[in-house]
């Protein structure tokens, strides 16, 4: 097989795998349909005033089939910065279509929005597994009909609600010392005959 044939076959197969998949419009503000502004408390070192987040924060959709347990929703699309301007657009993401794997076009999907401070990591999973202090949070889960293919345009995130990010502080050195000492005591007792 020539390289050209391999690329042609790969292109056709990828078209078949994405055709018929449900799509969503990744926009957290759609006039008269969606108003899901994300704000922060003003407690973080990078933002001392409460208000809508901007480009120092990323957002991403997590989605999956309606039958999926909520903890198994998967990230879809790529992390996207929130808008900075105009001021009325702060706290919102206006992006393109994203594919919801495992959900056929026109079917229902579970969806939530997650958001975090850019400095904490490149993915929400990385942020949630890391010990770093910072702003992070997520919306409630909504059920949305996807679009795409014969089902028409991408589904709109109707029902998505805005939320306030929580500042997750660094543990105090004293608290770390206490828990470290307790851990050593427990370990010592387990090793004693």
Q: 52-56, 112-116, 132-136 — which is least confidently predicted? A: 132-136
* Distance between first and last Cα of the chain: 68
What letter would DSSP give residue 17? H
CA–CA separation, 156 and 192 (whole Å): 61
Decide if 188 contacts 180 (C-beta within 8 A): no
Give per-residue pLDDT as tens, 94-114: 999 999 999 999 999 999 999
CB neighbours (10 Å) of residue 57?
28
CA–CA separation, 137 and 112 (whole Å): 11
The angle at the Cα of 166, spanning 164 to 172, to the nearest 5 degrees, equals 165
CB neighbours (10 Å) of residue 184?
10
pTM of the predicted model as reported, rounded to 2 decimal places? 0.75
Pairing of strands 74-81, 134-138: unpaired
CA–CA separation, 187 and 190 (whole Å): 5
More confident residue, 154 or 181: 154
The DSSP bridge partners found for residue 64 are: 110
Nearest to residue 79, comparing CAs of 120, 46, 43, 48? Answer: 120
Backbone Cα Rg of the chain: 21
CA–CA separation, 172 and 108 (whole Å): 44
Q: Is the dihedral of CA 5, 10, 11, 15 positive or negative?
A: positive
pLDDT of residue 192: 62
> Residue 65 is encoded by which pair of tokens?
């089939």
pLDDT, mean over the chain: 83
Phi, psi of 40, deg, nearest 5: -120, 165
Per cent of the chain over pLDDT 70 is 74
């Amino acid at each position: 097989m020539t390289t050209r044939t391999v690329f042609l076959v790969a292109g056709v197969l990828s078209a078949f795998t994405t055709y018929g998949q449900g799509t969503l419009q990744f926009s957290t503000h759609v006039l008269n349909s969606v108003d899901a502004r994300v704000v922060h408390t003003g407690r973080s070192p990078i933002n001392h005033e409460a208000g809508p987040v901007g480009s120092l924060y990323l957002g991403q959709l997590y989605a999956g089939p309606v039958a999926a347990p909520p903890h198994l929703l998967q990230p879809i699309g790529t992390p996207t910065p929130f808008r900075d301007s105009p001021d009325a657009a702060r706290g919102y993401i206006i992006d393109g279509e994203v594919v919801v794997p495992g959900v056929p076009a026109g079917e229902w999907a579970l969806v939530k929005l997650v958001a975090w401070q850019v400095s904490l990591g490149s993915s929400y999973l990385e942020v949630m597994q890391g010990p770093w202090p910072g702003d992070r949070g997520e919306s409630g889960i909504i059920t949305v009909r996807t679009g795409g293919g014969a089902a028409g345009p991408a589904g709109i995130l109707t029902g998505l609600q805005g939320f306030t990010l929580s500042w997750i502080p660094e543990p105090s050195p004293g608290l770390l010392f206490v828990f470290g000492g307790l851990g050593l005591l427990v370990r010592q007792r387990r090793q004693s005959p």
